[in-house]
A and B are shown apart, each in its own frame.
Chain A
Amino acid sequence: MSEGAAPAPVLTVTALRAYYQTRLFGIDRDVRAVDNVTLHVNANEIYGLAGESSCGKTTLIKTIAGAIRPPLKVQGGSVEFNFHGRRVSLYDKNAPDLADIRWRHLSYIMQGSMSVLNPLRRVRNSFVDFAFRHIHKPMAEFLDTVRAHLLRLHLQPEVLDAYPHELSGGMRQRVAIALATVCRPEFIIADEPTTALDVIVQKGVLTMIREVQREIGSSLIFVTHDMAVHANLCDRLGVMYAGRLVEEGPTAEILREPRHPYTAHLIASLPRIGDVAPKKALEGTPPSLADPPLGCRFHPRCPLAMDICKRENPQMEWVGPVHRVACFAAQPGKRQ
């Protein structure tokens, strides 16, 4: 966790476990969507979270944001924020009131954020509804702040008077980002904010997210299954598989030299200029999180699977100064 003399990370997640628990018709089911995840996000950093669909990315994000609703339950571990020295631990006994952290310090760009805006309310009202209470300024001054912020995202202040359906998809996306960043939060969670956009708009939006993040100096967790977006945007990358973090390190290093066979496959799926060979799909599907395989959860699909992988669960181990991986094949001294 520690990086020597580096400043304290903004977000520290320790051994976090969050399960979907259902008790239906006498059958207990635990879906282990987040299992023993430990990670941290530094100040002023964009942390990418990658992995295929249903690997627990969104659940992890919800748990970090404190947006837990049944049947999702946090089983253990801690989520701790450090907002300029103000420590906030989400799943403590004396957990703070989330209402005064959210939006002001911690904001969330939702999955499908194009529909974050209420279709029957003008954009101005959405800003007032969501952000006004957190800014503590008179209304006129608040609206000036909003207009200035919209300009920063290359939006005309006139969009405030529009209904969401009068805006294009890209504009709505930018409005959603403006909503999430207008309070200049220290920590932003972005859950697939560009998924529904075409690549050109996507690039513009990504650039904008980066600009805003640099300007207000916040940290960002960016979730997407799209490795190309990660390569473009993120400082560090965490790869999830079946509810567990399997590899984490600087984006460039992971892209250049993936240690985990799953990461290697994700990256191999990226198209490269000049590459004409057909892409090979990884056989099989991700395991059911209600009944995950014993040992390493990737072993049924892993080309490097060994005996130990079927019995023991590999732990995250350092393979570089800031590079961790959970794979027996990649960890020296663990081979059998």
Chain B
Amino acid sequence: MWQVLRDLLRYNREFAVGVFLLSFVILIAALSFLAPHSPLDSYVVPPDLPPGWPYVLGTNSRGQDVFWQLTCAIRNTLLFGFAVALISRVLSLVIGLIAGYAGGWVDRALMSVNDTFIVIPLFPILVLFYFVMRDRMSWMTLALAMAFLGWSYDARLIRSVALSLRAREFTETSIFSGMSMRQILIQEHLPYVLPIVFSTTMNNINWSIGLEVTLSVLGFTDINTPTIGVMIYWANQHTALVAGIWWWIFFPVALVVVTFIGLFLLAVSMNEYIDPRSRLGRVGA
């Protein structure tokens, strides 16, 4: 595993850049634990100061330090992305593997649910969700809602791999040797689909962060938890661009773009590891 990572870092430019960008973003997020003020406190510093010293990224019209605000926001946004990806990955793995392996009516039932999720329009549903939840809307409920909406494509993908695994001799032999369905899925099939899941995880994080930012900018989330989207929302509320406070919008947007590029590069370069021909040829694991 470490050897694979080392070789990818050494020979794969995209992977190296992606890792660098993402480490940078994670470092910024980690700094949030050193923040001098709570991100929810306002008017703790002089408002509307441009980037400089001691407020490196300036301060906003609500009297908050943009840098420390940003560390907190990116931390919440990343955690949100990871939480959505984690929950939806578990869902898609379980559903995809079981549907592909069990086949028959189990497959048909699971895939009809799956296809329903694929065709329903996500954005109106999430907006509706906000209007239903209103004040009870929190970071976690939104993550849960998006995880439950975001597993379906990958479940289909994993199912298609599981279908082909089902027909292989080693699966037949596993069944014959008396392994239970759970053992076969976890020990024999899971290693096969994990690399695919790694790659789609990156995409899923990107997707969920993008959607969360969109919803926050429009004010359809819990606007009291600082995230990148919520920062932009407040900047818009204070007409930051009209007032010339460009640093209030520029830095969150720049940071989330860096996050996107990093994740995208990781997802793309994962392909080199996932494709057995290039993997066996170069990495040999």
Contacting residues of chain A (99-140) with chain B, CB-CB under 8 angstroms: 99-100, 102-103, 107-108, 110-113, 115-118, 120-121, 125-126, 129-131, 133-134
B235 to chain A, nearest CB (A): 49
Known interface pairs A120-B191, A129-B183, A129-B188; A113-B178 also in contact (CB < 8 Å): no
- Contact between chains at A130 and B192 (CB < 8 Å): no
Q: Does B168 contact A (CB under 8 A)?
A: yes
Q: Does B174 contact A (CB under 8 A)?
A: yes
- Which residues of A have CB within 8 Å of B179? 129-130
Measured CA separation A280–B200 after assembly (Å): 58
- Contact between chains at A130 and B172 (CB < 8 Å): no
Which residue on B lies nearest to A118, using beta carbons?
Answer: B170
Most buried by B among A65, A100, A130: A130
- Which residues of A have CB within 8 Å of B173? 108, 110, 116, 130, 179
Measured CA separation A253–B168 after assembly (Å): 38
A121's partner among B169, B191, B280 (CB-CB below 8 A) is B191
Which residue on B lies nearest to A115, using beta carbons?
Answer: B169
- Contact between chains at B188 and A118 (CB < 8 Å): yes
B176's partner among A65, A117, A120, A133 (CB-CB below 8 A) is A65
Which residue on B lies nearest to A106, using beta carbons?
Answer: B176
Using a CB–CB distance below 8 Å, which chain B residues touch chain A? 168-170, 172-179, 183, 187-188, 191-192, 280
Q: Does A67 contact B (CB under 8 A)?
A: yes
Number of residue pairs A-B, CB distance < 8 angstroms? 57
Measured CA separation A129–B188 after assembly (Å): 9
Using a CB–CB distance below 8 Å, which chain A residues touch chain B? 65, 67, 98-100, 102-103, 107-108, 110-113, 115-118, 120-121, 125-126, 129-131, 133-134, 165, 179
A136 to chain B, nearest CB (A): 13
Which residue on A lies nearest to B165, using beta carbons?
Answer: A118
- Contact between chains at A108 and B176 (CB < 8 Å): yes
Measured CA separation A120–B191 after assembly (Å): 7
- Contact between chains at A99 and B191 (CB < 8 Å): no
- Contact between chains at B280 and A116 (CB < 8 Å): no
Most buried by B among A117, A118, A120, A165: A118
Measured CA separation A102–B191 after assembly (Å): 26
- Which residues of A have CB within 8 Å of B183? 129
Measured CA separation A111–B172 after assembly (Å): 10
Most buried by B among A65, A113, A129, A179: A129
Measured CA separation A208–B221 after assembly (Å): 69
Which residue on A lies nearest to B104, using beta carbons?
Answer: A70
- Which residues of A have CB within 8 Å of B178? 98-100, 102-103, 133-134
- Which residues of B have CB within 8 Å of A98? 178
Measured CA separation A158–B214 after assembly (Å): 56
- Contact between chains at A121 and B168 (CB < 8 Å): no
Measured CA separation A179–B176 after assembly (Å): 12
B191 to chain A, nearest CB (A): 4
A129's partner among B168, B172, B177, B280 (CB-CB below 8 A) is B177
Question: Can you name 27 A-B pairs with beta carbons within 8 Å?
Answer: A67-B175, A102-B176, A102-B178, A107-B176, A108-B173, A110-B169, A110-B173, A110-B176, A112-B169, A115-B168, A115-B169, A117-B170, A120-B191, A120-B192, A121-B191, A125-B187, A126-B170, A129-B174, A129-B179, A130-B174, A130-B177, A130-B179, A131-B177, A133-B177, A134-B177, A134-B178, A179-B173
- Contact between chains at B172 and A67 (CB < 8 Å): yes
Measured CA separation A103–B176 after assembly (Å): 8
- Which residues of B have CB within 8 Å of A129? 174, 177, 179, 183, 187-188
Measured CA separation A134–B177 after assembly (Å): 8
Name 13 extra pairs, CB < 8 A, besides A65-B176, A67-B175, A108-B173: A67-B172, A67-B176, A102-B176, A103-B176, A110-B176, A113-B169, A116-B169, A118-B170, A121-B191, A129-B179, A129-B187, A165-B280, A179-B173
- Which residues of B have CB within 8 Å of A117? 170
- Which residues of A have CB within 8 Å of B192? 120
- Contact between chains at B170 and A102 (CB < 8 Å): no
- Which residues of A have CB within 8 Å of B191? 118, 120-121
Measured CA separation A108–B172 after assembly (Å): 10
Measured CA separation A131–B173 after assembly (Å): 11
A178 to chain B, nearest CB (A): 13
Measured CA separation A6–B172 after assembly (Å): 35
B168 to chain A, nearest CB (A): 6
A293 to chain B, nearest CB (A): 32
- Which residues of A have CB within 8 Å of B175? 67
B100 to chain A, nearest CB (A): 15
Measured CA separation A302–B119 after assembly (Å): 59
- Which residues of A have CB within 8 Å of B188? 118, 121, 129
Measured CA separation A111–B168 after assembly (Å): 11
A127 to chain B, nearest CB (A): 10
Which residue on B lies nearest to A189, using beta carbons?
Answer: B176
Which residue on A lies nearest to B175, using beta carbons?
Answer: A67
Measured CA separation A62–B23 after assembly (Å): 54
B177's partner among A103, A115, A121, A165 (CB-CB below 8 A) is A103
Measured CA separation A98–B175 after assembly (Å): 11
- Contact between chains at B169 and A102 (CB < 8 Å): no
Which residue on A lies nearest to B188, using beta carbons?
Answer: A118
Measured CA separation A102–B174 after assembly (Å): 11
Measured CA separation A115–B178 after assembly (Å): 18
Which residue on B lies nearest to A112, using beta carbons?
Answer: B169
Measured CA separation A297–B68 after assembly (Å): 86
Which residue on A lies nearest to B168, using beta carbons?
Answer: A115
Which residue on B lies nearest to A183, using beta carbons?
Answer: B177
